[in-house]
Structure 1
Amino acid sequence: MRLGGFAHAVGSAEANTFDASLQVVLPKFLADNYGWWNFLNPHTYVGGMFNTGGRTSSVRAGLLWQIPFTERFFGEIFFGGAYHDGSKVGDATHNALGSRALFNVGGSIGYRFTPQWSVLVTFDHLSNGKEVFGTGFDRNVGINNYGAQVSYAF
């Protein structure tokens, strides 16, 4: 279970607002005993970013890979999908996102205090992938969020 706070849509029309996040990260697909290459075995995540200033909020789900650097420091990368309540065409206070369904990608650097408690610094990006995947949507401003999360493992 993760709780976090994020600077919302930095550098865009939706900037200067704040997101609260809630995320559940499920156990890995396979047993956790495959040696050094175990980081290839992903977790599933579900959660949401909820904007406190009336801008774009989203729910999301996908796969998350955790990469240990040391016993306490680790990195994460994630890729999934999201559904948002923001604008598809944009206006003075909302980014033009092009479609309701978006890609969700990003990464984190984390520190594990105990086997249960960790803290993470996270970059989170929402996009319709126009330039990369040629989705055909006219607009694709995207949203970049920067923040921190506290994680508790059950």
Structure 2
Amino acid sequence: MALTIIFQPFSSALAQSSQDNSQNIADSFTFGVMQQDVESDPIEDSISINVEVLFAAKLDKIPWSPQPVIGATINTDNDTSQFYGGMAWQYNFSDRFYTEIFFGAAFHDGEEDPDTVLAGGREAHRAYGCPLNFRESLSLGWRLSTNYSLMTTVTHMSNAGLCAANNGLTNAGIRVRRTF
């Protein structure tokens, strides 16, 4: 019941959009809660809300066919938020269990250069060097039904050493996916 209330406005709009075009545009909608900065000594110890749309693959008959993804991770405590896009690959272990790998890019609203240092030399915030960073994620999913999955997800955003500062950001959490 609670899942229906959460997903109904989004899934109805996406499903209607797909029906109007007589083909599936959106494959699924994902909503979740992530613990921000799960490093051993976190700087951004807060919670983020994650939303994501996974689009239908054009080559869905080919195993491991990539699917376009857009999403956002919105921080609830004024720490770093991200808007991202890229491609996801899904592998089914069975009818119930699967894994999903994502690779893409993320724009963020975090700091680019470390400029504030706390007592003891610790940075006051993470610094990401550039406004656009790489973003990867790994999810393990469990299909609860034909339309709903529960996923555990770990994400990482980093500039891969292409910019001066590169603290990176790793989040982990639980997400629910509604497949159309």
Residue 84 of structure 1 pairs with residue 108 of structure 2: yes
1:152 — aligned with what?
178
Q: Quick one: distance in 1 between partners of 2:125 and 2:44?
A: 9
TM-score, length-scaled by structure 1 = 0.89
Percent identity over the alignment is 31
Deviation per residue, 1:49-99 (Å, 9 max, x gap): 000011000100000000000110000111000000000013443201000
Residue 70 of structure 1 pairs with residue 94 of structure 2: yes
Pick the structure with more strand per residue.
1
Q: Quick one: distance in 2 between partners of 1:29 and 1:104?
A: 23
- Amino acid aligned to 2:54: V
Which segments of 5 or more consecutive residues in structure 1 lack a partner in the other structure? none
Report matched runs for 1:44-63 at 5 Å.
Answer: 44-63=68-87
Pick the structure with more helix per residue.
2
Q: Quick one: distance in 2 between partners of 1:93 and 1:111?
A: 38
User: Secondary structure of the residue that 1:25 maps to in structure 2?
Assistant: strand
* Conserved 8 A contact 2:44-2:125: no
Report matched runs for 1:1-154 at 5 Å.
Answer: 1-11=29-39, 12-30=41-59, 32-34=60-62, 38-39=63-64, 41-90=65-114, 91=116, 92-130=123-161, 135=162, 137-154=163-180
Quickly say closer, same or farther: Cα 1:139–1:96, change in 2 above 3 A. same
The count of aligned residue pairs is 144
Q: Quick one: distance in 2 between partners of 1:103 and 1:94?
A: 19
Q: CA deviation at 1:100?
A: 0.3
Q: Quick one: distance in 2 between partners of 1:117 and 1:76?
A: 15
